[in-house]
Amino acid sequence: MELNLQELNATEFPVPVELEDNIAITSLSQLYNWGRRNSMWPMLFGLACCAIEMIATASSRFDFSRFGFEVMRATPRQADLMIVSGTVTKKMVVPIVRLYNQMPEPKYVLAMGACASGGGPFKEGYNVVSGMDKYLPVDVYVPGCPPTPQALLYGMIALQRKIDGQSIANGDDVPWYGVGPAEPTPVPVLGPDIIDPRQMDMIRRQAESAADAPLLGSRELPALTQMVAAKVETAAPVAEAAPADVDALNVVLPAGAAPWAEAEDIREKRRLRALARKALRASRRAAQAEGE
C-alpha cells in the first residue's frame, strides 16, 4: 500500500511542500487510528448466502486487501473485525458471541445483509435472531439481500471513517480506551428459546407474575349468560317447554328477561342470542342427564 503522509497532516502547522512526503505533523490518536484502520483483519467465518458475496469481495476482482483488510484470519485471536454475513440462527448466536468475546480489543462488528441487520426474510421465524445488534454492538450495517461486493466494500470504508473519528484521549468514546479491558458480552443461553442473560431479571419477573396470575385457557360464561341460564333453570323445565329455537326462550323466561330483544346493535343482538342458545343447550343436556 502506498504511504500517503498527507492523510496524517491534519494540524494547523504547515509542512513545507518539499517535506510533505517525509514529514507528518499529527496527533497520537490520528496516528494510532491510521495504523489500525489500514490493517483491519476480518475473521474468517460465514453464515449463509451473504458469505458468498463476502468471499467474492475478498477475491481478486474486488480484493479488499487493497483497503488494508488484508487476509482473513481463521482465529478470533488474530482478528479485529467480525463480518456477520448471513442469517443468524438462535443456535449460532451462541458461538458468535463467544467468538466475539475471544477477539482482542479494539474490535468491530459489521452486519452484512438484511438477515444480520434485522432478521431479513426470516424475521420473527422461530429459529432466527432479529438482528445481530440484539447481542453485539454493531458498528456498520450493510443493507441488501445479499449486498453486492461493492456495497460491502463501501461498508468497510465507512468503518474506517468511523475509526478515524475515535480518540484514544476519550475513554467514553469506545470501551477499550477506558481503564482495563471491557466487560465481555454475556453469551446467550440456548434453551427452549434463546435467552439473553442480560434480560434474566425481566424474564424472572415475568415468570413470577405469570405464576401468580389466574389460569388462562378456561373459558367462563359471561355474567349475563349465567343469568339467562339461571332463569332458564328456575322458570320451567326445558323439556316441557321444548322450544323449537331460541325465540322460545321468550316464552320460558319472564317478560323482559330476553336481553337480545333490547339490544340495538345487530352484532350485540347476535352475540346475546348465541350465548342464550348455548345456555339453552346446556340446560337441555342437564335435563336429559336428570331424566336418564
The site for ligand SF4 (CB under 6 A) is made up of 48-50, 86-87, 113-115, 120-121, 145-146
Least Å distance between CB 52 and ligand SF4?
8
Least Å distance between CB 117 and ligand SF4?
8
The torsion angles phi and psi of 252, rounded to 5 degrees, stand at -70, -40
Give the residue with the Cβ less far from ligand SF4, 42 or 259.
42
- Short-list 93, 91, 132, 89, CA closest to 110: 132
Least Å distance between CB 42 and ligand SF4?
17
Give the residue with the Cβ less far from ligand SF4, 49 or 287.
49
* CA distance linking residue 54 with residue 152, whole number of Å: 7
Q: Tell me the three cell numbers of residue 36.
A: 489500525
Give the residue with the Cβ less far from ligand SF4, 121 or 184.
121
Q: Is 216 exposed, middle or buried (0-12, 13-18, 19+ CB in 10 A)?
A: exposed
**Which DSSP helix (H) or strand (E) runs through 109?**
strand 108-112
Taking each helix axis from N to C end, the angle separating 223-235 and 266-291, rounded to the nearest 10 degrees, works out to: 40
* CA distance linking residue 172 with residue 34, whole number of Å: 20
Least Å distance between CB 43 and ligand SF4?
17
Least Å distance between CB 50 and ligand SF4?
3
Give the residue with the Cβ less far from ligand SF4, 145 or 200.
145
Least Å distance between CB 224 and ligand SF4?
52
Give the residue with the Cβ less far from ligand SF4, 48 or 246.
48
Give the residue with the Cβ less far from ligand SF4, 68 or 125.
125
Whether 106 contacts 82, CB under 8 Å: no
Q: Is 24 exposed, middle or buried (0-12, 13-18, 19+ CB in 10 A)?
A: buried
Least Å distance between CB 152 and ligand SF4?
11
Three-class DSSP labels, 53-92: HHHHHHCCCCCHHHHCCCCCECCHHHCCEEEEECCCEHHH
Give the residue with the Cβ less far from ligand SF4, 42 or 120.
120
Computed from CA positions of residues 131, 136, 141, 144, in that sequence, does the dihedral angle turn out positive or negative? negative
